[in-house]
Structure 1
């Protein structure tokens, strides 16, 4: 009786298929973005100190090894995450000043930044101050915080001299913290009055 020999798939085919599968996973266009977003979420929930590669990988739905494929190390990943956070803040500031035409409008834009944009989400505030904290520990992050602060200075200098713009920008930074943390937070009216004094803009 004739028995048909068992047909074995050549090893090269099997390996080729495996390589194709690995290549598909490796070039997943959303993977890097998911890892960064998972890192941001972890920082917001657990802080930088509680953000580990295993936690990020689990939240992003990837293998831990995928992180090293896209990022040199944990510090590189943190910088990418904070870079994205800073861009959100820069966009908020630019959008607020996009339609401002004079000094009075600039004061109002600053009030809205302090009481609306920067206070709209507790999560965003946590990310904001986590960046400040890591910058104090590691000067390598200073360029990120500088980029966040400098955009405000640039917008304000369109309407005020450099010294006045710096005074207002400094006040905005402090007022954001005060409004977020004080048991008796400052009202928009009080903020507006203080900014008008700094800017020498009449009521």
Structure 2
């Protein structure tokens, strides 16, 4: 009588692969994110990658989609607690100085996604959806044109804070948010 092969029950395998993909991209970039490396990081057989995803690009796309959603959820949560415009301004300052992309790996992932989006319309759709969610959250408190500028300010100052050898201090960020939102007359 032959032995029956026992299948390993691993309901979280697909999600673990997605998380491992982001970890690997954060460590070595998209160029170094091989399926072998991702499978090893997820502690799954290499065949699990091809079982769950139609190639490396499908895996990368879904992992970046998950990443963008996670960051957008935090962004929306930060702004949803604001009861008025002043609290919304404060939330934006906190997003830039404390909350968004404070983890160095998230900054790397963001730049890897931007690089893919610059070349591939599928990834560009992902970044556009991310920006649309950010603007929608900002539009609860600010006019659409202001929300668009604030979104760019958040993005730009977050990058500068992470990469600049002399990043903008909180007071400068408060001033920039005030200028964009029309509150600069209150600052003198």
- Match of 2:14? 32
- Match of 1:85? 67
Q: Deviations for 1:84-133, whole angstroms, at most 9, x for unmatched residues?
A: 11121111111101210121111111110111112421111111111111
* Mean Cα deviation higher: 193-202 or 43-52: 193-202
User: 1:89-104 to 2 correspondence within 5 Å?
Assistant: 89-104=71-86
2: distance between equivalents of 1:36 and 1:166?
31
- Match of 1:70? 52
2: distance between equivalents of 1:168 and 1:53?
38
- Match of 2:24? 42
Q: CA deviation at 1:75?
A: 0.5
- Match of 1:186? 168
| Residues 119/65 of structure 1: CA separation in 2 closer, same or farther (3 Å cut) | closer
User: 2:75 touches 2:100 (CA, 8 Å); kept in 1?
Assistant: no
User: 2:161 touches 2:168 (CA, 8 Å); kept in 1?
Assistant: yes
1:160 aligns with one of 142, 149, 168: 142
User: 1:118 touches 1:125 (CA, 8 Å); kept in 2?
Assistant: no
- Match of 1:142? 124
1: distance between equivalents of 2:164 and 2:100?
15
Q: CA deviation at 1:138?
A: 1.3
SS at match of 2:31: coil
User: 1:12-27 to 2 correspondence within 5 Å?
Assistant: 14=2, 17-18=4-5, 21=6, 24-25=7-8
Q: CA deviation at 1:31?
A: 1.3
2: distance between equivalents of 1:158 and 1:30?
36
Q: CA deviation at 1:28?
A: 2.1
1: distance between equivalents of 2:20 and 2:104?
17
Q: Deviations for 1:163-190, whole angstroms, at most 9, x for unmatched residues?
A: 1111111111111111111111101111
Greater gyration radius: 1
Divergent runs of 4+, >2 A: none
